[in-house]
Amino acid sequence: MSETPLASVLFVCVHNAGRSQMAAGFLRHLAGDRVEVRSAGSLPGDGVNPAVVAAMAELGIDISDQRPKVLTLEAVQASDYVITMGCGDACPYFPGRTYLDWVLEDPAGQGVEAVRPIRDEIKGLIEGLVAEIDSTHAEKRQS
Active site residue 64: no
- List 7, 10, 13, 24, catalytic entry: 13
Mean pLDDT to the nearest integer, 20-44: 96
Distance CA(123)–CA(52), nearest Å, equals 13
pLDDT band at residue 91 under the 50/70/90 scheme: low
HEC profile of 37-51: EEEEECCCCCCCCHH
Please give the pLDDT value at position 2: 45
Into which CATH architecture does domain 7-142 fall? 3-Layer(aba) Sandwich (3.40)
pLDDT tens digits, 102-133: 999 999 999 999 999 999 999 999 999 999 99
Distance CA(122)–CA(30), nearest Å, equals 12
pTM above 0.85, yes or no: yes
For residues 101, 103, 109 and 112, what is the CA-based torsion angle, rounded to 10 degrees?
-110
> Domain locations in the chain?
7-142
pLDDT band at residue 137 under the 50/70/90 scheme: confident
Active site residue 91: yes
Please give the pLDDT value at position 86: 74
- List 14, 35, 56, 91, catalytic entry: 91
Active site residue 87: yes
- List 7, 23, 85, 87, catalytic entry: 87
